[in-house]
Amino acid sequence: MDDLMLNLRTQEAIRAKCFHPTGQWEEFNPEDLNQSIVSRFAQMVARHPDRLALKAGAETLTYAELNIAANQLAHAILQRLGVGSEPVLFLMTQGVQAMVTIMGIHKAGKFYVALDHTAPNERLAYIAADSQARLLITHAQCLRQAQTLAATQPDLQLINLDDLPKHLPADSPEIDQTPESYAYIVYTSGSTGAPKGVIENHRDVLHFSRIFINTFHLCKEDRIGLSESNSFSGAAAKIYPALLTGATLCPLDLNVISIHGLSDWLHRDQVTFWLFVPSVFRQWVQTLTKPAYFPYLRLIGLGGDRILPSDIELYQQYFSPQVIFRVGFGLSEVKQVTFYFIDHKTIFPTKRVPIGYCVTDTEVLLINEQGQAVENGEIGEIVVKSRYVSPGYWRQPALTEARFHPDPQGNHDRLFYTGDLGMRLDDGCLFHMGRKDLQVKVKGMRVEVAEIEHVLWATGWFESIVVVARPDHTGEQRLVAYGVAAQHPAPSMSEIRRAASVKLPPAMIPAAYVSLAALPLNANGKVDLKALPDPPTARPIQAAPYMAARNNIEADIVEIWQEVLGLAPIGIHDHFLDLGGDSIRATQIITRISNQFNVAISPQILLAQPTIDKMALMIVQHQVELLDNETIERLLNEVENNYDITF
């Protein structure tokens, strides 16, 4: 490990290069933590009223404009709810209006619960009921969905941001808030079969903003990319450091723009700082040429899932030395725990990428099963010690007491038991060594498999069911369900996916199902997860019977699908999602099809036309525009008669 430790000693030197080339960084001081988000934001408005606060495509707001819009919404909220701290829901696509809503809720003295508009209605209804919110804010794009949700909650009022009265006051409401006031609740996957709400207060938001601002030397000249849903805890790590330092926040809805559009977005909005999940990074890099040129970009970072050495190699191959690469470790309950900086000279003599060193005011303890600290080089549970951890779980005191402990030394620090395993070198550098429990990371989202198992068990289709994360043929983690069917024939993947999609978001729906006569057990009578077989690479049971390709275009698409999905054979009527497809694999398929057939289409096309025969017809329709009448007539005849098509 000596070579690695020598490399680790260069961390501060690499971080020291992480400055905006022309911007002026202002340190976020410790005493500035003793206030509210609203008061810190007011300072930014006073200093930078005409600076751009938000940019989403052609839509922009300055700090002064954002302040006025948030003030008016705050008055509308107070008219509905009156004064007092309580949760307020909002359901919106990512963009400028979502940021206005967040700041408006804060200014009204409330705390927000962001709902993901792509989540199933039943999940949204559960969160709305559990939060006990009395108000839901939405906009025109999500109005119908919000109305459906409000109809399930008898006391839930609705505000459409697009219909706010024009005469609302533009001044900031006089609302008393302390650093301990709640700021937001983010719902994560729950081990009891239902999502759990993680609470965050103003002091902790200011603290992790201070960490980001001071660590990355963020300044008002920076433009910070935001590509996550606001219901994801990682979104807050961009929103607040940007708006509490005078920088520009650039929201982007990945459900609208394709992976191909990310490069244009970075250029157009002049993004300097972007943190995102590894799966998006890997797909995006496939669209780039070497070396990629992004003149404004100075730092990119990955988090939310395991970082592979190949990710570092991709960064070093595709990005210029002026771009610094950052990895780290964090959770909703404790925000950012560690950082690790990488440049073009960084070399890893091991196959595991470190998660780095603890951030300011945070300590990591590594504890064994007996509750004792382990030696350096040994593996133990990661226990985070800090004053700046979540107050706990919303309306779940027992779970809060189980995971959050007071510091035995009796100061303001608290201990959070993460369930993650770690190993530390002598110089303090941490490595993530997996999960202690059954919680897993899939596509950057923390998932409690117990919640998925609960949903599948409730169908009545299984005598027993277990869900695990397994790498697919590309090494990406995916969810696999193993079950003993209570009926014959066993449920198809199509039926399982449709049942799960009613209650679970897309990232929590199993990509594959393996039917077993019995689950393997160990000597203690528990399911032996290591003995579960690998998912078969053969085509899973589908609702539609198998039909082979009928022409060259269909055959070429079949080959692409089989390579990307790792299955064979695939029929032309098989549903993309029923084969384990998702948005990431949709992007891979669309990228290859766009290159092979010279058509410009988005991943949303595949989700809307999820079978090979429909995709083949769409490709013909795209190609028709480029052909003469004689060729068009031949192609249409070939499609009609299922003959081979050649261009």
Angle subtended at Cα 251 by Cα 247 and Cα 255, rounded to the nearest 5 degrees: 165
Residue 3, pLDDT > 80, answer no
Q: Give pLDDT, residue 189.
A: 80
Ramachandran angles phi, psi of 417, nearest 5°: -90, 110
Pairing of strands 445-448, 87-91: unpaired
| CA dist list (Å): 438 to 371, 422, 435, 481, 489 | 20, 16, 7, 13, 29
Q: Which pairs from 55-60 meet CB under 8 Å and 24+ separation?
A: 55/223, 55/248, 55/249, 55/250, 55/269, 56/94, 56/95, 56/96, 56/250, 56/251, 56/252, 59/95, 59/96, 60/96
> Are 195 and 451 a contacting pair, CB within 8 Å?
yes
| CA 628 – CA 122 distance, rounded (Å) | 51
Average pLDDT over residues 386-412: 94
Q: What does the pLDDT average to over 563-590?
A: 85
> Percentage of the chain surpassing pLDDT 70?
92
Tens-place pLDDT, residues 168-184 = 999 999 999 999 999 99
- CA dist 603 and 286 (Å) reads 14
- What is the mean pLDDT of the segment spanning 412-432? 91
pLDDT at 642 > cutoff 90: no
pLDDT tier at 644, thresholds 50, 70, 90: very low
Which class does domain 552-641 fall in?
Answer: mainly alpha
Query: pLDDT, tens digit, for every residue of 330-384?
Result: 999 999 999 999 999 888 766 788 999 999 999 999 999 899 999 998 989 999 9
In tens, the pLDDT along 517-564 reads: 888 876 555 678 888 998 877 777 777 788 999 999 999 999 999 988
Alpha-carbon dihedral sign for residues 325, 227, 123, 464: negative
Q: What local confidence, expressed as pLDDT, does residue 305 receive? A: 76
Q: What is the CA radius of gyration of the chain?
A: 26
Q: Tokens 């650039």 — which residue?
A: 250
pLDDT-based confidence at residue 487 (cuts at 50, 70, 90): confident
Per-residue pLDDT at 641: 59
Residue 367 backbone zone (phi > 0: left; psi -120 to 50: alpha; other: beta): beta
pLDDT, average across residues 264-269:
94
Q: Where are the beta strands (DSSP E) in 490-630?
A: 512-515
- For the chain, percent helix, then strand, then coil, each to nearest 5? 35, 25, 40
pTM of the predicted model as reported, rounded to 2 decimal places: 0.79
Burial zone of 145 (CB within 10 Å; 0-12 exposed, 13-18 middle, 19+ buried): middle
Nearest to 594 by CA among 255, 261, 265, 269: 261
Question: Is residue 101 classed exposed, middle or buried when 0-12, 13-18 and 19+ CB atoms within 10 A define those classes?
Answer: buried
Least confident of 141-145, 502-506, 514-518, 599-603: 599-603
Per-residue pLDDT tens digits for 16-50: 899 999 999 999 999 999 999 999 999 999 999 99
* Cβ neighbours around 354 below 10 Å, total: 25
> SS3 of 421, please?
strand
Q: Does pLDDT of 292 surpass 50?
A: yes
Which of 178-187, 285-294, 296-305 has the least mean pLDDT?
A: 285-294
Strand 59-62 to strand 52-56: parallel, antiparallel, or no bridges (unpaired)?
antiparallel
How far apart (Å, rounded) are the C-alpha atoms in residues 236 and 303?
A: 13
> What integer pLDDT is reported at residue 643 of this predicted model?
43
Bridge partner residues of 421 (DSSP):
381
Helix axes 278-285, 309-318, angle to 10 degrees: 40
**Residue 245 above 70 pLDDT?**
yes
Is the peptide bond preceding residue 506 cis, with omega within 30 degrees of 0? no
> What pLDDT was estimated at residue 28?
97
pLDDT of amino acid 523 = 59
**What is the mean predicted confidence (pLDDT) over 391-416?**
94
Contacts with 249 (C-beta within 8 Å, 6 or more apart), sequence order: 53, 54, 55, 99, 223, 224, 226, 238, 239, 242, 243
Which class is domain 439-531?
A: alpha beta
For the residues 120-129, what does the mean pLDDT come to? 94
Tokens coding 585 = 């694999």
Task: Give the separation between CA 549 and CA 553, rounded to whole angstroms.
Answer: 8
What is the DSSP code (8-state) at residue 373? B
Does the pLDDT value for residue 631 go beyond 80?
A: no
Instruction: Decide if pLDDT at 6 tops 50.
Output: no
Strands (E) across 116-253 are located at: 135-138, 157-160, 182-188, 196-201, 223-226, 248-251
CB 235 within 8 A of CB 228: yes
Question: pLDDT-based confidence at 446, cuts 50/70/90?
Answer: confident
Q: What is the mean pLDDT of residues 458-474?
A: 85
* Single-letter residue type at 134: R
439-531 and 552-641 agree in CATH topology: no
**Domain spans of the chain, in order of start:** 439-531, 552-641
